[in-house]
Homo-oligomer: A and B are copies of this chain.
Amino acid sequence: METWRTNIVDAGPAHIRVRGYDVLDLMQRSTFSDLIFLLHHDRLPTSAERRLVDAILIGVADHGAGAPSCAAARLAASGNRQSPSAAIAAGILTIGDEHGGAGSGCMELIAAGLDRARSNGLSFDVVATQLVDESRSAGARLPGFGHRVHATIDPRVDVLFGLASSSGLAGDGIRFARALEDAIRVRIKPIPLNIDGALAAILVDLGLPALVGKLLFIVGRVAGLSAEVLEEYTREKPMRIKIPVAYDGVPPRENGA
């Protein structure tokens, strides 16, 4: 088998280094959010960047036991109490474009918009309107906007953008996301940025690739899933969950095989 190559971790018998940094030193001086930034970037964050990473991870960690990710983790903990990793994995598997993963699509949208604005010398407002119109005529949803619970506005968005603004880290990512929000309001109806869209805008400004929009949601949500699994193991009996189902298919018939 070919030897695998990696530029993330160098783990020898006498040392472990993460992107060049001695892990023993990181353990003594850095925070977990520093390490998360480092693992996905090529350097450690500044203290302002660390604050944003902490805020994002805290913001997405847990949105209640009834969210699909938490509910699936609890179902697995309910039927299979031999493996907490199985329960956490079941929760993670519910995360996709429709649940928690819209950040990646929104980062691609913002990146495409910034690229078009710069290449063609267009204003953000003009490009945002173009993208909204194009998405609308293609019948596509705009990832990062709208939420099934927070019909009007998700207060976590303002907190994230406030932190970015007060620390001087609000850049073109946030400006373009706001331009998209304006264009949506004008061309369709008011559909506010959601938490996925807010983290997408910030992650663009932090220089991270689009896939990280989905990945950071997962990293944060696992903290919540872990606690939900702990509660299910310690507080609830196995197989307590019964989902009510009604059959509406074909009536009874004979097997002529």
Please give the residue numbers on chain A whose beta carbons come within 8 Å of chain B beta carbons, in ascending order.
1-11, 13-36, 39-40, 42, 44, 53-55, 57-59, 61-66, 68-69, 71-72, 74-76, 78-90, 92-101, 148-151, 155-156, 159-160, 163, 209, 211-212, 214-216, 218-220, 222-224, 226-231, 233-235, 238-239, 241-255, 257
Q: How far is the CB of A73 from chain B (nearest CB, A)?
A: 9
Given contacts A26-B255, A218-B226, contact A89 B92 (CB under 8 A): yes
Could you give 16 example pairs across A and B, Cβ below 8 Å?
A6-B228, A8-B249, A9-B224, A10-B249, A18-B61, A21-B253, A21-B254, A23-B58, A27-B59, A71-B241, A80-B94, A85-B92, A86-B93, A88-B218, A89-B92, A211-B234
Nearest residue, chain B, Cβ from A247: B10
Most buried by B among A14, A15, A94, A252: A94
A209 and B234: CB pair below 8 A? yes
The docked-state distance in angstroms from the alpha carbon of A230 to that of B252 is: 22
Inside 8 A of A74's CB, which chain B residues have their CB?
Answer: 4
The docked-state distance in angstroms from the alpha carbon of A98 to that of B227 is: 21
Inside 8 A of A222's CB, which chain B residues have their CB?
Answer: 218-219, 222
Q: Rank and list the top 4 A-B pairs by shortest CB-CB distance, nearest first.
A: A80-B96, A79-B99, A7-B249, A66-B243
